[in-house]
Amino acid sequence: MSNVAKVLFFILSNNAQVGPVVSNGEDTPTYRIHPLTAYLQEHPPFITTQIITGTPEKSKQIASVDSYRVQVNIVDETHDAAHSLAKKVRSALDFVSGTFAGVNMQY
């Protein structure tokens, strides 16, 4: 799993609005958040993430900065449910900065 996928998984699975929706609900939860594709038999709701582009950026201040464009897909049983989850995912990812899963992320 790429660092970008790890960061997305960490942020979404730990978000109070998103995590419970895509969790199996057990004491040691697993989350239906997948890089690239979901399992064929996966039950909604679930999330898939894809890196669309990754571009190294030139910076004199920071040793290594890469910019990524990612796509987040939301699958649920109804359009309204998918739209509701998509709004929660957007809120979880908007303007987020920090270190997640050992990876520094800047907005």
What is the pLDDT, as a whole number, of residue 60? 65
Q: Are 23 and 33 in contact (CB under 8 A)?
A: no
Task: For the chain, 107 residues long, give each residue's pLDDT as a single digit of tens.
Answer: 688 889 999 999 999 999 999 999 888 889 999 998 888 889 999 999 998 987 766 666 666 677 888 999 999 999 999 999 999 999 999 988 888 877 777 76
14-45 burial, b at 16+ Cβ within 10 Å, e below that, comes to: ebeebbebbeeeeeeeebbbbbeebeeeeeeb
| CA count, 13 A, side-chain hemisphere, 20 | 2
